[in-house]
Chains A and B, each alone.
Chain A
Amino acid sequence: SQTIHQWPATLVQPVGSPLSLECTVEGTSNPNLYWYRQAAGRGLQLLFYSIGIDQISSEVPQNLSASRPQDRQFILSSKKLLLSDSGFYLCARQDLYGYTFGSGTRLTVV
């Protein structure tokens, strides 16, 4: 099984509050993992990717960060959320035919 777990499913946070979204994966060890954001009515934007423990690459400069403390755990964080951070956050793992996505977290910053 190449299951991806993401939680929470929905989140409402005030501006300036911290954020921590967790993604855990099952299946093949040492997967390539990705964080994407999809703003309302927009396409998928790659935020971070990781090829292994503590190996994180950022695609877009912003007030978000990512960490991979364990092989199957990928965390997206922010110290202070902005209104523009609202969106649908998706964790993905690479597999043979592309990516498999988690069910996502819908974040609303108010």
Chain B
Amino acid sequence: RKEVEQDPGPFNVPEGATVAFNCTYSNSASQSFFWYRQDCRKEPKLLMSVYSSGNEDGRFTAQLNRASQYISLLIRDSKLSDSATYLCVVRRNAGNMLTFGGGTRLMVKP
């Protein structure tokens, strides 16, 4: 079983739609969680950290469920520019290593 699992997609949604991605992780001792965004042929960039209480940044909402070991990302009012691959990332409990999921591809259509 992969340490971090994501549905690879693609998720094809119209502009203005709300879309949600889930991610599951296997190591119950994982401490920190993040969502990264990766545009085609570019490096990943931090989108947002995920806090236990859930957090929101504009149209983006991230939530963590430690009991079920999953993380979610909700995007409201999708824009064309949101088209990208979204990577779920988990920090191992030992050291500061990050483990990346395979990514979920989102395509927002006009």
Contact = CB atoms under 8 A, between A and B. Distances in A.
A5 interface: no
A104 B46 CA distance: 16
B14 interface: no
Given A97-B46, A98-B34, A98-B49, A44 B41 contact: no
Interface of A: 32, 36, 42-44, 46, 49, 88, 90, 94, 97-104, 106
Contacts of B87: 43-44
B24 to A, nearest CB: 14
A39 B47 CA distance: 22
B88 to A, nearest CB: 10
Nearest to B32: A98
* Majority SS at the chain A contact face: strand
Contacts of B32: 98
A26 B72 CA distance: 33
* Majority SS at the chain B contact face: strand
A36 B32 CA distance: 20
B39 to A, nearest CB: 11
Contacts of A49: 97
B43 A101 contact: yes
B23 to A, nearest CB: 12
B66 interface: no
Contact of B98 (A42, A99, A103): A99
Contact of B49 (A36, A97, A99): A97
A90 B101 CA distance: 16
B102 A98 contact: no
A98 B36 CA distance: 10
A67 B46 CA distance: 26
A32 B41 CA distance: 24
